[in-house]
Structure 1
């Protein structure tokens, strides 16, 4: 192979997927620093891809066990927003196809906002079914946050267009006849729950940004309703909104 330009070498490396590829070996023999840097970066990318695939495979173990037993439609269920002082608790139920692969998918809290948004679009496009459940502040006060979360999860599952045969739920059990597995830290252990975590998080964050636009003095788009110093100061200065959870401290002591 004739010596390629740096740009040509970079383009060629985009095609190579096998470390034993003769073309890679020829590039390795090219002593130019620019080419060697490209080859080193290729190896780093391959290593990261292998790590991503290994992690994804590990996070598929619950789904694989169920599919091995003949279960086809598995819904991952997760929530976001149990702890904030304002806004709804939002849940999602996601059924993924067996062929689904998304490198880097993990607990939504471990992902950047940009990555969550990117993953959200992929999940919504490729999922077999997605359901979303939302319970607002007034109902949270009426039911308590635990029961409100259950209600939101049930709503998300009932919204699924494909009826699930098994539920994988993040640390919760639901009063349904559908077989289910409750998994502690499930959003970091199951791809289905991780996908639900992303959908729920992005959905709620978008709602809180809209609330922030409606009440700019509260800064909801920054703290998403959590009890930050800025948020508490805004409540003291501007008062309690209908979107605030009046059964949560310290708000319940302010009214």
Structure 2
């Protein structure tokens, strides 16, 4: 995609981790960035650092997302770039497992599963479809391109571990959105892709004990370390620049394949 200082982008989850690195990469390229996040303190700081805009947005609320887009577009104009990194989920339980308190069995509840699907899959559709609705009215660029949408899946979309039933199937659903959405939007010149990050050095991951981090790093075939958030941001920039990337689910994981547990 052609872009310049008038190009606008929206990054969800931009207050930290992969979203922050993406917002920084886009801003470094001269793009106007609006950050959607619930963490106002961190989000405002990142927005200040990159010369962007912070919008407090709950991705599970249609009204909140619509308000965020309205605020971002009033400041920067209609976005041509959407990068959706934010999510909410509940995990850590198997579909059915032992209940140590009762000696019987317990189930990963339908309510927890629904919460994860709403926070991962439904939210991805919400952000992507509402952004595409706005992009559709833009003037076309080279090749008739009007916008590009990048969704965040996970390596767990293809090899989720035990206790990741909600997270894994939600992220697999994100990958499943990509091709039919890219085909739905092809006549409008809007591209759609997803990135499946492996184990990345994001704030939640860096909060685990050092020995656990060492083991995780050693499990990556090469390079034997956690992914750097800026490497995710770099791939986002390539997906923006290279207009022949469309309808793709891309792993970014150092060749790791997760074991069952």
TM-score, with length taken from structure 1: 0.23
Identify which of structures 1 and 2 has the higher relative contact order when contacts are C-alpha pairs closer than 8 Å and 6+ apart.
Answer: 1
Greater Rg, structure 1 or structure 2? 1
Instruction: Answer 1 or 2: which has greater helix percent.
Output: 1
Instruction: Answer 1 or 2: which has greater strand percent.
Output: 2
